Structures are given as C-alpha cells and as structure tokens.
Amino acid sequence: MSDLSLDTSSKVSAYDLEDLVEWDRRIREKVDEFGLDCFPQEFEICDHNQMLGYMAYAGMPSHYPHWSYGKAYEKLKTLYDHGVTGVPYEMVINSSPAIAYLMRDNTLLLQILTIAHVYGHNDFNKNNFTFKSTRADLTVETFKAHALRVRRYVEDPSIGMEKVERVLDAAHSLHLQCRRNLAIRKLSPEEQIERAVENAQPRSDPFQKIHARPERVEPDLRRVPTEPDEDVLLFIRDHNPYLADWERDLLTIVDEESKFFIAMIETKIMNEGWATYWHKKILEALNLEQGLHLEFLVRHNQVACPIPGQLNPYHLGLRIWEDVYRRWTEPTAEEIKRDGAPTKPAREKLFEIREVERDVSFLRRYLTEDLLRDMDIFEYEARGENYVVSKVADDDGWRDVKETLIKNVGTNSIPVIKVEDADFGQNRTLYLKHYHDGRDLHLEYAEKTIAYLQRLWAREVVIETTLEGKKSLLCCNDRGFSVRALK
C-alpha cells in the first residue's frame, strides 16, 4: 500500500469510465514498452469518504475491527474536514491482483497520473525482494480470514470485545518489534542449537602449534531462546504456556499483518521514488495535449517537491533513481574515475536495484555526496530546547549526515529489542535487551509499552537498555514500573 496525497480542490470530472479504460490502455502500452513487470491490476473508483475508510484500514477491503482504526478514521476525517490534508489520489494494496482506489472527484489528468503511478508501485511490489515474503496472491484472503477470526472471538460469549481488545491493544503496541529483513530465513530452534554447537567448535588453525589454545566456551543450550529473538509477539505466543488458543491466534494475526507493513516501511523511499520516476516517464511518453501536460507539470511538482525541514520520500527517491539513471548513461569523467565505467545498460541497472535493495541499502549505495549536497540534507540534534543543525553535507560532514539519514529510514527508526531469556533468574522473568545505538528509548512510551509486554507475558518483564549513557534496567511487574541502574 502506498498513498500519494496532495491538497487539491476537486474539479468537476468531465470524463467517464470509458475514457479511463482508454487511457489505461495507452498507459499499459508504455508500461510494457518500458519493461515493467506488473501483477494484474484492478482499479476501484471511490468517493472521498470511502477513501478515508480505506486509509484508516491501511487500504484493506476487509480488516478486523479495533477501535484504533476508528480513531485513525476520525483523525483523518478531522484533518480532511479542516482542509489540513487532502485525500490521497490513490492507494495501492500490495496484493495480486493489485488493487488501487481512484478518487472519483479527481481531474482526468490526476487519474492518468495516478494510474501510471500505480503501475510503478505494482511493478515494485511484485519484484522487490522485501515483498517476496508476503504472499501477494493471498493478501486479500488473509486479511479477510483474520477479520473473520477476530469477529468470531468478539462474538464468542466466553471471550467478548473487552478481552479481545485487551490482547489486541497490547499486541498492537508491540507489532513492529519483529524481524526486519524478511528475506533472511529465521532458523528453527533445532537449527539454532546446531549453530551454537558448531560455533563452539574450535576453529581449525594451521598454526595451532604456536598459538595459544583458545578457551572453549560451552554454549548454553538450555537457555530459551538460543539466539536472541526479535519476534517478540511470536516468542510470547510460543513460550507463554498460560495463553489461551484464541489469544495465541490474535498474536499470530497481528504478527502476520505487521510482516506485511514491515515490507512497506522498509521500502518507502525506493517505492515512492520508483512510482514517481515511472509516472513521470510514462506521462512524458504519452504526448499529452498542452492543457493536460501543463497540469501534469504542476501536479508532478506538488508531489515531488522538496519540503524544507522534512524529507519527502517522493522527492528523495525520485532524485536517487534519476541520478542512477544518469550515472549509468552519461557519467562525468570524475565519476568514471571514481566508480569505473558503467558495465550494464542504465535501465537494466534500475531494474536490478529495484529488485535487490531496500531503503537502507539503497541510500547507502546510491545516495552520493553530490546528491546530498545538492539536496541540502543536514543532520540535526537536540541542544537544550532546540533542534540545531549539527552537520551539513560538506566535505567533513557528508558521511555523518548520510549515516544519520540511514539511521532514520525504514525500520531503523524502530528500536531493536530482542528477547534474550525467557526464564531469567529461574523466575520466568522475560529478559529483553535493547540494542542501543546512541538513541535512548522514550521513557514514557517505554513504560506504557512494557506494561503491555507484561500483560501478554503475565510475569515480570525486564528490558536492558542505556539511559543517558548509563546501563539501566526497566522492570515491570505486579508492583508497577521501575528503572534500576546497572553497574
């Protein structure tokens, strides 16, 4: 799913469905010509209320009920009614066939632009490796099945809304604490033990006669989990014996859905950039008549303009894709000296990147110093009451700026917290560790979230973290929340 939103005043639409079908045919011609590889596409025309509804439920035609979606709806509606934000032009669901919603009130040009944009997303979702772990052909059915199951629990007189909400509230607060790179297979517990045993074996050393013998560290095979586990919800599901079946099922449902969102979070900049890149290409190739073309320029700029003080993923993504294309077609002499001459056609390179990268690697590899400087990307930090620019993309600072940028895209903006021990102190205390990278946890949020963890685990929960440079333990048990310093 993605959305492309702008504030816009809707005009009377002087076109009908036939026109759209005809434009779609022309766009698809171009799509094939450019070699984009898409799922079958379905468009649904909707009005703004329906669009708000779809947005609240992440675009899903069916989704399980929870008050947070009602809240999302109210919020969107308030913003929309007050004219703070417009309704997105479109919305694409990562499924096969790809479903996209088109706003009924949009102008013809917006519909054309949107259709082209949607094909960009469609191609990306089908081919990027991140999305391979989500079964696109089953997306809609999966969500439907989830909705059905949750509804059944709500209607079950022995469970009911209150209890379901208790679990869902807690699960929602933890749903992003899961594995980030879904392309890496998670080892089963047996395989993990195997690996631990293997790692404990002494390395074969050709110079072992002169080297001191490495001390053999016995692997702790009795600890659960053998390797730190990032899938917090799944871990609790599998290791809290007091959960009822329906509670386990709810955790599974939430986890499955978050896998779906992780893929989107991981590729936001690439995906939006890619779709923007292709809608631009396609519309330029369509030879639009002048009126439409001028509107296209205006709309395209609204979408892909830089927003000072923020990062517009459409802008950032588009700039990198265009830069890659340029560097692989007409690199400057300097670039050839630095990177070597391009070895493959530019378009092939583009398709390769869209398949094998995610935002983090995409930025690391293809966001150059020149581009950083050109876009005036800076790093800021908190000083006292203000956020102050600490580094800009000059000769000294650009690497740090880039590092900081990468630290904040995709799932990097979610703290890494892993389950280390399910039976800490032989007390069935759940011990988790926050892998601190210089950024502290927000304590108020941590306090509330750890309470949810405790609710699901039903025993004491401890998180090891660093607060203002000091190792600390956040504890949550029946007596409440406390922070303890660790020596």
- Under rule CB under 8 A, which residues in 294-313 are in contact with another protein? 306-313
CB of 256 to another protein, least distance (A): 16
Q: In whole angstroms, how close is the CB of 307 to another protein at the nearest point?
A: 6
Which of 351, 452 has the CB closer to another protein?
452
Task: Give the residue with the Cβ less far from another protein, 49 or 427.
Answer: 49
145 binds another protein (CB under 8 A): no
CB-based contact 27:116 (threshold 8 Å):
yes
**C-beta of 196: minimal distance to another protein in Å?**
27
Identify the residue among 408, 427, 477, 482 touching another protein (CB under 8 A).
408
Taking the complex as a whole, the smallest distance from the CB of residue 353 to another protein amounts, in Å, to 20
Letter for the amino acid at 455? R
Tell me the closest approach of the beta carbon of residue 47 to another protein, in angstroms: 5
Residue 341 Cα distances to 326, 337, 348, 350, 361, angstroms: 12, 8, 15, 16, 21
- The residue whose two tokens read 């809609």 is 140
Contact status: 354 vs another protein (CB under 8 A): no
The two structure tokens encoding residue 257: 């859905």
Among 244, 297, 389, 486, which residue interacts with another protein (rule: CB under 8 A)?
A: 389
Segment 41 to 80, residues that bind another protein, using CB under 8 A: 41-47, 49-50, 53, 56-57, 62, 65-71, 73-75, 78
Q: Does 38 bind another protein (CB under 8 A)?
A: yes
- Closer to another protein at the Cβ: 337 or 448? 448
Long-range contacts, stretch 349-355, CB < 8 angstroms, 24+ apart: 349/324, 350/321, 350/324, 350/325, 351/35, 351/127, 353/324, 354/123, 354/124, 354/127, 354/128, 354/270, 354/274, 355/127, 355/128, 355/129
How close are the terminal C-alpha atoms of the chain, in Å?
46
The answer for residues whose C-beta is within 8 angstroms of residue 378's C-beta and 6 or more apart is 389, 390, 391, 392, 393, 401
Using rule CB under 8 A, residue 36 touches another protein? yes
- Interface mask (CB under 8 A) for another protein, residues 100-139, using x and -? ----x-----------------------------------
Could you say whether residue 172 binds another protein (CB under 8 A)?
yes
156 binds another protein (CB under 8 A): no
Q: Which is nearer to another protein, 291 or 445 (CB)?
A: 445
Integer Cα distance of 307 and 462 in angstroms: 41
DSSP 8-state assignment for residue 181: -
Q: Which is nearer to another protein, 328 or 430 (CB)?
A: 430
Residue 65 burial (CB < 10 Å; 0-12/13-18/19+)?
A: middle
Among the listed ranges 36-44, 129-137, 192-200, 273-281, the one in contact with another protein (CB under 8 A) is: 36-44
**Which of 118, 422 has the CB closer to another protein?**
118
Cβ neighbours of 405 (radius 10 Å):
22
Q: Is 452 in the site for another protein (CB under 8 A)?
A: yes
Residue 75 to residue 88: CA distance in whole angstroms: 15
The rounded distance, in Å, linking the Cα atoms of 347 and 354 is: 11
Least spacing, CB of residue 129 vs another protein, in Å: 20
Question: What does the block give as tokens for 19?
Answer: 């026109």
Could you say whether residue 449 binds another protein (CB under 8 A)?
Answer: yes
Residues between 232 and 261 with contacts to another protein, criterion CB under 8 A? 261
Buried b (16+ CB within 10 A) or exposed e, 350-366: bbebbeebbbbbbbeeb
Number of residues that make up the chain:
487
Considering only the stretches 182-190, 216-224, 339-347, 445-453, report the one whose residues sit in contact with another protein under the rule CB under 8 A: 445-453
Q: Note whether 194 binds another protein by CB under 8 A.
A: no
d(CA 313, CA 188): 36
89: helix, strand or coil: strand
* Shortest Å, Cβ 188 to another protein: 27
Q: Which is nearer to another protein, 8 or 312 (CB)?
A: 312
